[in-house]
A and B are shown apart, each in its own frame.
Chain A
Amino acid sequence: MYKKSAPLLFVAPYVVLFTVFIIVPVVMAMALSFTNFDAIQRPQFIGLLNFTNLFTQDLIFLQFVLPNAILFAVIVGPGGYALAFFIAWSLAQVNKGPRTVLALCMYTPSMTAGVAIAVLWQIIFLGNPQGYLNGLLINWGIITEPINFMVNADYILPIIIVVSLWSSMGVGFLAMLAGVLNVNPELYEAAAIDGVKSRLQEVFYITIPSMKPQMLFGAVMSIVGAFQAGAIGVALTGANPTPHYAGQLMVNHIDDYGFIRYEMGYASAVSIVLLGIIFGFSSMSRRVFKED
């Protein structure tokens, strides 16, 4: 057999990169979250003060960021996840040719995430009659004055949610599509004999239980997607903080404190809370889709 050192040599390059760029930053964020640090002077240890401030004093966080983040995460997370499963399940029931084309249409937007293509949405939601949506609405006589979508607090969050949902059919969606397609057909036949009658029963008793691993993978991807969003709001409105904090999400709050106010310790505390939330939700979904 191979030498004892062989596995170590094979994992070494990956483990080194993983440690330097994932583990070290997370550990540093944990350490900094207990400090007051302005990036110039040495960090000062202040215990849990950052965390208590975050949940008791930070009005922007409590009034805007947290409610925005929860609303956003609920719609884009579970909402986007359910939608992705529903689309995957529907696509699995049409012929291969059309299915490939339709699946490509669904997946394509996810490839635009974070690209210079944010400009597309700026053109569509431009706040004057030259903006595509404004132009259309005026032309149809629905509105007379253009709506300043990117400044008006009522529109910013809904727009961010729609754009995020639009681009959320990524690898998780593809995994679920592959999962539905690979359910053993004999299971459906057996279930029909056992008295499973409606399509809905079939989905819950056969399809989902047979593809738990893909469901879980999709769930984790959805949760991560729902909480790491933030760049799109800044790209659309051209400002962090977004106007009236209307599109402010956790990630934006971190950037606001870290790169604009230079309160690195506080920003790190928010990061840790964010990672904790993601971890909590992922553990929950792990429990739901555990293989018996």
Chain B
Amino acid sequence: MNRTNPKRFSKDQIPLYLYLIPLAVFMAAPIVFIVFHAFKPMDELFAHPPRFLVSRPTLDNFTNLFRMAAGATVPLSRYVFNSVVVTFTAVMGTVMFSSMAAFALSKMRWKYAGVLFTINNLALMFVPTAVTIPRYMTITGIGIDNTYFAHILPLMATPVVLFLVKQNMDNQVPNELIEAAHVDGATPWGIYRGVVLPMIRPAIATGAILSFQLVWNNLETSQLFTTSESVRTLAFYMSTLAATGGIAGQGMAAAAGLFMFVPNLLLFIVMQSRVMNTMAHSGLK
């Protein structure tokens, strides 16, 4: 009766494939389309009727993109540099601070652990765009507008990452192990670094991916919290290119979109088994 997680192909699976494959094609088609679009020469971008596939792929769109960026007030390399610094710092910070907090909430017995986790669970429902205005006022209020911190710090408070890491610690790290380490005289920091972190690597990887997607793709921090081009990120610059619009801009915009999207995809493919492992232990109770 139960057919979950089968080991081999059987005829029962045919009906499932009959709708799963078309659905997967529908989901993937727009992504594949933009990949092809990015490599189309000018005449194929203009082709009528429009074509899905590219017949004579070219790198023209990418060279145009870089040529146009060369004429901008701020060189492309600056946006790339900003994005790399901001993303790297924010991802490391998110993972480190969330896992530290998760350790205190999951493995230390103290008065406010329960309350804090409940508040964090409530914050899973938090919608940053709903409170853009007070967020802006907070950021200018503490004086980090127009700095890298305006991209990094707001995105480091991600309730979902703390949630995932904490749930995984509950399920994956036996309390006996922590107690044994205590008896051996390990410090809390030593236990966190030496015992807990190595055991929840999949959850850390998952948190890192979620944080990466949030930061790398983020336009709002550039739009709202910065005014100077020299501290803005690649995602923002690419979106302004896309907005230049027109048919001529289309190829470039597709190239720009692809350029932003590929790192997300590669990272997820590399980490996908770890992500699935994490999700198995990440229910909300």
Contact = CB atoms under 8 A, between A and B. Distances in A.
Nearest to B4: A92
Given A116-B235, A135-B49, A231-B129, 18 more contacts: A14-B97, A18-B120, A18-B157, A26-B134, A28-B131, A28-B134, A95-B8, A108-B265, A112-B261, A117-B34, A130-B46, A166-B26, A169-B27, A178-B280, A188-B2, A220-B124, A238-B245, A275-B131
Interface string A259-292: 1000010011001001100110010000001010
B4 A135 contact: no
Contact of A13 (B13, B49, B97, B113): B97
Nearest to A183: B4
A10 B103 contact: yes
A94 interface: yes
B133 A177 contact: no
Identify the 4 closest CB pairs spanning chains A and B, nearest first: A213-B283, A188-B2, A28-B134, A10-B104
Given A21-B154, A87-B20, A123-B250, A166 B1 contact: no
Contacts of B17: 94, 98
B200 to A, nearest CB: 15
B16 A230 contact: no
Q: Is the interface of A mostly helix, strand, loop or mixed?
A: helix
Interface string A97-113: 01011101111110111
B285 interface: yes
A7 B282 contact: no
A110 B160 CA distance: 16
Contacts, number: 318
A255 B133 CA distance: 9
Contacts of A101: 24
Contacts of B23: 87, 106
A250 B275 CA distance: 32
Interface stretch (A50-58, A73-81, A151-159, A221-229): A221-229
Contacts of B279: 171, 174-175, 177-179, 214
B8 A227 contact: no
Interface residues of A, number: 114
Contacts of A267: 133
Given A123-B254, A132-B50, A17 B283 contact: no
Contact of B131 (A29, A107, A113): A29
Contacts of A228: 127-130
A7 B104 contact: yes
Contact of A22 (B31, B34, B126): B126
Contacts of A250: 130
Contacts of B50: 130-132, 135-136
B31 A108 contact: yes
Interface in A224-242: 224, 227-228, 230-231, 238
Contacts of B127: 224, 227-228, 251, 274-275, 278
A182 interface: yes
Interface of A: 1-2, 4, 6-8, 10-11, 13-15, 17-18, 20-22, 24-26, 28-29, 32, 87, 90-96, 98, 100-102, 104-109, 111-124, 129-132, 135-136, 138-139, 166, 169, 171, 174-175, 177-183, 185, 188-189, 191-192, 196, 202, 211-217, 220-221, 223-224, 227-228, 230-231, 238, 250-251, 254-255, 258-259, 264, 267-268, 271, 274-275, 278-279, 282, 289, 291
13 contacts: A21-B135, A25-B135, A90-B20, A101-B24, A104-B269, A106-B24, A132-B33, A135-B49, A135-B50, A178-B278, A178-B279, A189-B2, A213-B284
A194 B33 CA distance: 50
B280 A124 contact: no
